[in-house]
Amino acid sequence: MLSTGPDQPRLDGQVVVVTGGSTGLGYFTSEQLARLGAAVVIAARDADRAERASRSIERHVPGAHVQHVPLDLGRLDSVHAAGEQLAALPRIDALVANAAVVALPDWSKPRAERGHRPLTTADGLELHWGTNHLGHFALVAHLLPALLASGGRVVHVGSVIHSRVRQPADSLPLPEEPQSDLAKYARSKLAVMTFGFELARRLEAHRGETAGAASSVVAHPGTAVDALSPTRAIAVNQPDVNPVTRTLVRSFAHGKHRGAMPLVTAAASPEARNGDYWGPSGWKQLRGEPTRLAPHASALDPQVAGRLVARSEELAGVRLPL
């Protein structure tokens, strides 16, 4: 477990990129990494929100160094541009691939119509898979040479819901499939995790040649909610929740500042190793202190992972340099 106390390893001089670092889980991940001394690069769509997040981090972490690079993971042209900009940095020591989209049901529609919306990325791919997996895949491909050079880490943010997916990770969901948005989100997270473990295998196979000490680690935040998170004067949803509801929610969830801790552990702790999977230690992995976990077997099939990487390279228009 990694806290941000004085006895924890410092990250002074290191540069960490956090996608979606301007709000929610990504914000608290960025703040905690800055508290450990890392220079944080927030990669996010909304420049105004990223600027406010940067100012908030600087208020809560005196001396913090934060900058912003525009990134829309739902547009491959934006991913390629951000990848080139980030790759030009003097160094990158870690990438926390945190940003994700999850479409919520449209409660204004009849029940039979919910979850059947053909949501897509700008490139015409199913929204969740195209953003959460493919966008990050393309970004990792761009930044991997820099991470190899620094012996850095890629942290892939998965979800406990990956164990409920019945399709193999290399199956590309179609926008028009009659499947709920939550199911499509789960499929995207299985793809994220399958790629994370495949990258770890490739790094291990090339260790000492081109891979050096670089590592690939998967982590998940459990059930992290805004209602239990500390207040920040930025664009973060802070709902007004009554004490009874807050107590009930606390029984199965924790705040996003707590959900960020497995991600920070995966990115910064010397205890985290190539191929690890970190998440909360509590009941059903919903909340608790960070601990090393075992993923569902569906995320560990190397043949499926190989097909996933090949398909992702084709769709993203960029090859994984390993």
Helix residue spans in 129-242 (DSSP H): 136-150, 181-205
Catalytic site residue from 137, 185, 197, 278: 185
Calpha distance 195→204 (Å, rounded): 14
Angstrom CA distances, 241 to 25, 66, 221, 228, 238, stand at: 19, 31, 21, 9, 9
> Rounded CA gap, 235 and 132, in Å?
21
Q: With CA atoms as reference, report the closest residue to 96 among 34, 20, 210, 172.
A: 20
Q: What is the DSSP string of 50-97?
A: HHHHHHHHHHHSTT--EEEEE--TT-HHHHHHHHHHHHTSS---EEEE
Q: Is the dihedral of CA 23, 24, 26, 30 positive or negative?
A: positive
How many whole angstroms separate alpha carbon 255 and alpha carbon 132? 22
d(CA 231, CA 233): 7
Contact between residue 26 and residue 32 where contact means Cβ atoms under 8 Å apart: no
- Quick one: which of 53, 45, 51, 48 has its CA closest to 23? 53
Q: Which two tokens stand for residue 180?
A: 């709920």
Catalytic (active site) residue 185: yes
**Contact predicate 152/92, CB 8 Å:** yes
Residue whose token pair is 């806290």 = 3
Known catalytic residues? Answer: 185
